[in-house]
Amino acid sequence: MGKGIGLGIFFILCLCVALVVNMPVVHLLAQVKLPNTIVLSGVNGTLFSGNVDSLLVNQVQIDDLSYDFNADCIAELKFCYDIDADLGQGQVWANPFDQSLELDDFEINYPLEKLAAFADQLLVRPSGNLQVLIDSLTLKQQLVSQVDARVLWRQAGIVGEAIELGDFELKIKPASQGYQFELKDLKALLTVDGKGQLKADGNYSLNVNILSQPGLDPSIKSALEFIAKKKGLNRYDVHRAGRLPGQVLKHLSF
C-alpha cells in the first residue's frame, strides 16, 4: 500500500513538472511584474525555449528575439537563457527568489538612425552605429545596478555631412558609491581623452580633451564648437557637471 502511495506521489510530481515545462510562457510572465519601461509583444514558447516578436525597452525596439534555456547555472538556483535577436546576442540570468535579472557577455549593435526620437533633442544629430558590449548589468526591483560595459560609436559622423570621423569608445565601470566613465578615440580623426564620474546622489562630472587633425572639414569644426569650447589651434575642451534628472535617477541603484 505504501509503495503504491509513493508511486502515486512520484507520478503527480512528474506530471506537475511536465505541466510547468510545457506551460506557455505567457502564463508564467503573467506572474512576473515587469518594469513599465519594458513591453513584450508576440511571445511564443515555453519556459525552456521560444521567441518574442518585439521587445521595447525605453523606446528602444528589439525584434525577432529567441531564447533557449542554458543549464549552466542551475547549481546557483537561477534560470539562464541564451538570447539571440536581430540586434545582438548574450546571456540572461534570472533569479526567481529576488526577481533580479543579470545580463552577461551581451553584445548589441544598434544603428543610430533608430534613435531618432532621442537625437531630435540634440543640436547636432549623430550618424553611425552603436555597439554596446555588456560584461555585466543587473536589474533588481526595477532598478539598474552594477553596470560594467563599453559603448563603441562606430563610423561616427553627423547627419547631412559626408564625413566619417572614425570610432570612439565609452567605458562604464562601477566605483565606490557610483560609476566611472572613460572616453577615448580608436584612431579617429579626433583625438579624444575624457574621464567622468556619476555619484550615488545623482551628481555627475565630465571632462574631455579633444584634438582635431589638421585639415578637418570646417563643417565638422563648426559642429564641434556646439558641444565644446575652443582652447587653441585644433584644441577643444568639454566640461560638464550637474545632476541627473529625477526621472533617470529613479531607475538606477548604487
Can you list the residues of the chain whose pLDDT is less than 70?
1-37, 58-59, 115-124, 161, 215
Amino acid at 70: N
In a domain, 25, yes or no: no
Place of cell 553584445: 107
Strand, coil or helix: what is 37?
coil
Give this prediction's pTM: 0.76
Contacts of 70 (CB under 8 A, 6+ apart): 80, 81, 82, 91
Angstrom distances, CA of residue 65 to CA of 61, 155, 208: 11, 26, 37
- Cell numbers for 167, please give them: 570610432
Q: Which domain holds residue 140?
A: 98-249
pLDDT score at 14: 47
- Cell numbers for 194, please give them: 575624457
pLDDT score at 169: 95
pLDDT score at 11: 47
In a domain, 103, yes or no: yes
As beta bridge partners, residue 93 has 80, 102
pLDDT score at 70: 84
In a domain, 194, yes or no: yes
In a domain, 69, yes or no: no
Q: What is the pLDDT of residues 142-169, one digit of tens each?
A: 778 788 999 999 988 777 767 778 899 9
In a domain, 175, yes or no: yes
pLDDT score at 30: 62
pLDDT score at 7: 45
- Cell numbers for 46, please give them: 515555453
- CA-nearest of 209, 179, 175, 180 to 194 is 209
In a domain, 203, yes or no: yes
Angstrom distances, CA of residue 2 to CA of 6, 12, 13, 173: 6, 15, 17, 59
To which H or E segment does residue 9 belong? helix 2-22
245 φ, ψ (degrees, to nearest 5): -60, 150
In a domain, 140, yes or no: yes
In a domain, 201, yes or no: yes
Tally of structural domains, the chain:
1
